[in-house]
Amino acid sequence: MKAEDTNSKGEPTQLNVPKDAKTDKKAVQVTRKSIELPHYPADFPPGKGKELFVSRCGVCHTLRYVTMQPNFPEKIWAKEVDKMIKTYGAHIDKKEAKEIVDYLNTIKGKSPSVNKQ
């Protein structure tokens, strides 16, 4: 039991019970346990646009979303970034969007399919 789980007398804390209430202490004892999970940030390769990508995209969602996506052609990454701006209000200007798209294409890009004849 941690110090914050007890009152000034070292007794377990009670939840929503007035100080003058006559209650069975065992019925209202509250214990609190917590665990701390490790944080493993997504590891992205260095490159032009990485810092911009991390600072702009990480404001709204975990960057791990990108790692869960398939490799997209540059055109799809451009549409995704545009959607984040127009639909979700991402604070990214046109120049920044281009740099982010270029970075995404570098790390998770795919050449567009070419029709074989």
What's the confidence (pLDDT) of residue 93?
Answer: 97
Contact by Cβ (8 Å): 90, 60: yes
Question: May I ask the CATH architecture of the domain 50-108?
Answer: Orthogonal Bundle (1.10)
8 A C-beta contact, residue 101 and residue 56: no
The amino acid occupying position 41 is P
pLDDT digits (tens, 9 = 90+) for 89-115: 999 999 999 999 999 999 999 876 554
pLDDT at 1: 45
Q: Write the CA distances from 82 to 10, 31, 61, 93, 97, integer angstroms.
A: 56, 48, 15, 10, 8
pLDDT at 116: 44
Over residues 1-60, the pLDDT tens digits come to 454 556 667 776 655 555 666 655 555 566 778 888 777 777 899 999 999 999 999 999
Q: How far is it, in rounded angstroms, from Cα 31 to Cα 45?
A: 44
Q: How many CB atoms lie within 10 A of CB 103?
A: 24
Which residue ranges does the chain devote to CATH 1.10.760.10? 50-108
